[in-house]
Amino acid sequence: MSKTRRFTIRSKIVLGYLVVVLLFGVVLVVLSAQINVLQKENDFISHHDLNVHNLTNAIEKNVLDMETGQRGFMLTGKESYLEPYDQGLSEWKSNYDQLYALISDNPDQQQSLQNVKSHITRWIDIAGKRSIQMKQEGDQDKAISSLVRTRIRCFRLPPLEISLIVCFTS
């Protein structure tokens, strides 16, 4: 008589529990790995977006500082008012370069940022440097009339078209 070993009910139940526990452990390991991957992606995106937002705000502040310093100098003639202009002028380029590198994975955003750069540099060349130079050379009437013309163009635009770029590049 050959003895074949048969599984008893008890061993089948224990084996079933072991399979369930083993599968549960595998599911937990896979789920944990997926959660870690998602958390890393979320951290990267949050950090990246925060840096983009901060640099965008810094560029806006730099441009506003330039405009404020230029306007203060134009109205008073005091060189001390050019400090925010000079500081904004030097900082915005660095902030622009950092932001451009940060959005290197998005060509559409880079194109938009290049458009913003062209408007800022146009304002610096047309309204910023030129009016400051006229004022420093003593041509106050011409410098102030240039400043006023720039501001009047802003007020004539419809509300939806009024923006920093439009107002200071025309």
pLDDT at 144: 64
Q: Would you place residue 166 in the very low, low, confident or very high pLDDT band (cuts 50, 70, 90)?
A: very low
What global pTM score does this model have?
0.64
DSSP 1-37: --------HHHHHHHHHHHHHHHHHHHHHHHHHHHHH
Per 3-state DSSP, the chain is made up of helix, strand and coil in percentages (nearest 5) of 85, 0, 15
Q: What is the pLDDT of residues 19-67, one digit of tens each?
A: 999 999 999 999 999 999 999 998 888 888 899 999 999 999 999 999 9
pLDDT in tens, 91-146: 999 999 999 999 998 999 999 999 999 999 998 988 888 888 888 888 766 666 66
**Residue type at 164 in one-letter notation:** L
Distances, alpha carbon 44 to alpha carbons 40, 41, 53, 131, 138, in Å: 6, 5, 14, 44, 53
Residue with tokens 């306007």: 71
At 26, the amino acid letter reads V
Supply 22's token pair.
Answer: 């083993």
